[in-house]
A and B are shown apart, each in its own frame.
Chain A
Amino acid sequence: MADTGMLAMPPSRGEYSRKVSIVGVGETDYAKDYQAERKRPEGWEPPTIDDLCKLAFDRAVADAGINPASIDALALHYTFGGPDPEEMTRHLGISPEKAWVNGHIFAGPLPNIAGRIMGGEAKTVAMLFGIGNRSSGRQFGGNTYSSGMAGPSSYYYYHPWGWSSQAAHWAIMATRYFEKFGKREEDLGHVPMTVRQHAGMNNNAIMRAPFTIDEYMASRYIVRPLHLYDICLVNDGAVCLIVTTAERARDTAKVPVDVAGWSESYITQDKMRVMVDERLRPQIQAAGQEALAMAGLSIDDIGHFEGYDVASIHLVNQLEGFGFTPDGTGIDFAIDGQMTLGGRIPTNIAGGNMSANYMQGWGQVPEIVRQLRGEGGERQIAGLNASLSAMTQTDCVHPVIYTRGE
């Protein structure tokens, strides 16, 4: 079976809620690595997946304040390949009892590992994601792009019409949204502009300089009507999460962040219509409600959202789909300041995929952990108890709910 990165998840049952916690997070120097790749000074070599993973791992272990010898399983997640478990454990300087290569994008790995911990397969797991997206010159469209899946995929099927790329998916959603709800490009621009303002509060965000709506309108198009600023970054990096039983997490140095709920939902037919016309609303609603029910929370309890802003319009889709604002009102919600500090739901508060880093969903988690611990600094959301992340692609959604541990 093709490795689609979608991992088997334990069912969204209340009895599985808050049984597993995140106790440590580590990330690489996204901004520094990105600038180096752009300048390519003499003798520059792109960082290897090994070294990126090692840095994220060391930082996560230090963050958790644990002895690395207590890690009894390593879970490796690579989108475009990386060292095998034996090589990586040697590189990290640990000798866990178990090591798994376990999917790639953030569509299910945390619930999957939670299930393994609950099932007694391991007590403390280091989950590592590493990607060399940018230094490898990867393009997300064009002739050579194939998803590698057996069935027809929207990523390559429409080549004869010149239609491919991730950005094109978001562009046809945006056009229809504009037409249907009477919005314009300059209205949508408030969404990436707000996320960029958030990045200004994050030293490790790749793009931190604020822009105005005039500058947004003057920026080049990627796929019209979407501008450069509407589309996520492409960068190299790694993320490490240290995950353990909720019980053990209570003995660590910092406030544990409990994995409280999860779910998933897929478009099963008429993908183009559901994607463009409904903007995955049925899937986002269904998965969101199930994850909330598992966590024993309502959407009103969620005080922070890290959405998959692979494109600005898709963040609007998620704000509306999860129920933070009614259908067709997401852009107005952003213009009204409701997705920033002091608004209804501070969203992608560290700069998201459009301005901070693009780690295929994994980049959402470290910020959630920082926020729930109260380590958000100038971007801290006051009185936060519950956060929501969502890996939302063109045809599926994987929300996870996290709560501040006692």
Chain B
Amino acid sequence: MAEKRPPRTTGPGNDEFWQGCAKGELLIQKCGKCGHRPWPVVQACEQCGSDALMFEEVSGKGKLASWCTFERPYYGELMPVPYDTIVVELDEGPWFIANPLGFSNSEAQLGMPVKVSFIDCEDTQGAFKLPVFEKA
């Protein structure tokens, strides 16, 4: 059953990202001019200003860079506390905020290898696949 989640950011660029997730692909922008990989989605390259941005599938592999556990119900019943969030340093460079899958922050270690997985979720705009990370 799909987990109810707070709303995604959608619109130009973001829609391509979520369409990738729907196919089980983690798509990250890459600048056609300088090669920089911005995340989250931008409309112009934050490094060189170019708008020649394209989405490219990344490996989905990375390592744990940090984590924190929410103890205050900022999202009410949508996200019952406590719940874990993690920061993953993707092998391609960007730092990606997500949730752990199949492990908890009490087992987290800096540099621990992880890989992407997609879970069924639902927000106010409907069903979607959310990228999360499990131990690699």
The answer to whether B99 touches A161 (Cβ under 8 A) is yes
B68→A143 contact, CB < 8 A: no
Say yes or no: is B126 at the interface (Cβ < 8 Å to chain A). Answer: no
Partner of A152, one of B40, B71, B123: B40
Known A176-B110, A224-B69, A273-B89; judge A162-B94 contact (CB<8 A): no
Are B130 and A223 in contact, CB atoms less than 8 angstroms apart? no
Contact B6 A222 (CB under 8 A): no
**A139, CB-defined interface residue at 8 Å:** yes
Q: Are A160 and B7 in contact, CB atoms less than 8 angstroms apart?
A: yes
Contact check, A161 vs B74: say whether CB atoms are below 8 A apart. no
Which residues of chain B from 46 to 93 have a CB within 8 Å of any chain A CB?
Answer: 46-47, 65-72, 74-76, 78-79, 82-83, 85, 87, 89, 93
Asked whether, in the complex, the Cβ of A162 is within 8 Å of the Cβ of B65, the reply is no
Is the beta-carbon distance between A220 and B97 smaller than 8 angstroms?
Answer: no
A163-171, A204-212, A282-290, A332-340 - interface stretch = A163-171
A67 within 8 A of B: no
Quick check: A224 and B71 within 8 Å, CB to CB? yes
How far is A161 from B132 in the complex, measured between Cα atoms in Å?
A: 8
B41 interface hit (Cβ, 8 Å):
yes
A269 to chain B, nearest CB (A): 4
Contact partner of A175 (CB less than 8 A), chosen from B7, B68, B75, B121, is: B68
CB pair A268 B121 closer than 8 Å: no
Pick the contact of A276: B69, B74, B95, B98 (CB < 8 A). Answer: B95
Q: How far is the CA of A171 from the CA of B72 in the complex (A)?
A: 13
A57 to B110, CA, bound (A): 50
From B5, B6, B109, residue with most partner A Cβ within 10 Å: B6
Question: B36, B66, B121: which contacts A176 (Cβ < 8 A)?
Answer: B66
Docked-complex contact A159 and B71, CB < 8 angstroms = no
Most buried by A among B38, B46, B71, B128: B71
Contacting pair A163 B97 (CB below 8 A): yes
Instruction: Let me know if B66 and A160 touch, CB within 8 A.
Output: no
A141 contacts partner chain B, Cβ-Cβ < 8 Å: yes
Q: Say yes or no: A269-B95 contact (C-beta < 8 A), given A159-B6, A175-B68, A225-B68.
A: no
B121 & A160 in contact (Cβ 8 Å cutoff):
yes
Whether B123 pairs with A142 at a CB distance below 8 angstroms is no
Q: Are A223 and B71 in contact (CB under 8 A)?
A: yes
Docked complex Cα distance between A161 and B99 (Å): 6
In this assembly, does A3 line the interface, its C-beta being within 8 Å of a C-beta of chain B?
no
* Cβ contact within 8 Å between B110 and A180: yes
Does A172 sit within 8 A of B, measured CB to CB?
yes
Contact of B71 among A176, A222, A268, A270 (CB under 8 A): A222
Closest to B124 in A: A143
Give the residue among A151, A160, A276 with the most B Cβ atoms within 10 A.
A160
- The answer to whether A223 and B72 touch across the interface, beta carbons within 8 angstroms, is yes
Residues of B within 8 A of A168 (CB): 68, 70, 85
Residue among B6, B39, B70, B79 making CB contact with A223, cutoff 8 Å: B70
Whether A270 contacts B95 in the complex (CB less than 8 A), given A162-B85, A179-B110, A276-B66, comes out as yes
Given contacts A273-B95, A276-B87, contact A164 B74 (CB under 8 A): yes
Chain B residues contacting A157 (CB-CB under 8 Å) are 9, 40
With both beta carbons as reference points, the residue of chain A lying nearest to B130 in the complex is identified as A160
**Nearest-Cβ distance from residue A154 to partner chain B, whole angstroms:** 8
Known A152-B9, A269-B36: A139·B74 in contact at CB below 8 Å:
yes
Contact residues in A for B132 (Cβ distance below 8 Å): 161
In the bound complex, residues from chain A placing their C-beta under 8 Å from that of B95 are: 270, 272-273, 276-277
Closest A residue by C-beta to B43: A151
A143 to B123, CA, bound (A): 12
Q: Are A172 and B71 in contact (CB under 8 A)?
A: no
Q: A152-B9, A270-B94, A276-B95 are in contact. Are A165 and B87 (CB under 8 A)?
A: no
Q: Answer whether residue B33 sits at the interface, using C-beta atoms and an 8 A cutoff.
A: no
Residue among B78, B85, B87, B110 making CB contact with A272, cutoff 8 Å: B87
Q: What is the distance, in angstroms, from B101's C-beta to the closest C-beta of chain A?
A: 11
8 contacts between A and B (CB under 8 A): A141-B74, A172-B67, A172-B68, A176-B110, A223-B68, A224-B71, A269-B46, A272-B87
Interface residues of A (CB under 8 A from B): 139, 141-143, 151-152, 156-165, 167-168, 171-176, 179-180, 220-226, 268-270, 272-273, 276-277
5 closest pairs, A vs B, by CB? Answer: A171-B68, A142-B74, A224-B69, A159-B6, A272-B95
